[in-house]
Structure 1
Amino acid sequence: MRRDVFQAIADPTRRQIIGMLAAEQMNLNAIADKFDVSRPAISKHIKILTECGLISIKQEGRERYCRPNYKKLKEVSIWVEQYRKFWNAKLDDLENFLALDNDK
């Protein structure tokens, strides 16, 4: 199944995992220990994040470490930015309208 970054970030657990990995790379067990769900459930979240390219896993000895892929996260940032600009413009227009209304 082809997944994209927006499907991945739709889930709050996956967003939390990305947030944790932004602070430091972690092994799979350390990630699972941070959640009150089963390890298989966390493994499924990790798999989805990996499939869409938001994280990568690197084998170091017997441990597998996860780290974020900032290039893929930038896709999300670019998409959000267009809506930030749109809403800022709309709110500025509203502010100007209200200021004109108060001047009467």
Structure 2
Amino acid sequence: MTFTLADQAQALALAARLAVLHPSLPAAGLGVSHHADAPALDLCFLDAPAAVEAWREALHVPLAEMTCTQRDDGRLTVQFEATVDGVLVRAFTILSNKQPEGVAA
């Protein structure tokens, strides 16, 4: 099946609505797609677990829905998935392996 821009309208409208309702949320790299024939909105953050948490709180996603997994390269991914107004929202960040300055290994 070939999806059209019209098929993505619901996810795009949700992104616009969230920008109006929560203008102070951290900016995300946005992706719009389909997952199991439903619109999906992907929110990508670079090394920013606090941003994922802010979005989780704004969308009223239970803390139990947050997951943390280790990738093959050893980095951690913090993420959640939730359905909001019929749109699957997936938010995630990949944490770097770099030790913050001033922190002993």
TM-score (structure 2 length as normaliser): 0.26
Q: Say which structure is richer in helix.
A: 1
Structure with greater Cα Rg: 1
TM-score (structure 1 length as normaliser): 0.26
Q: Greater RCO between the two (CA within 8 Å, min separation 6)?
A: 1
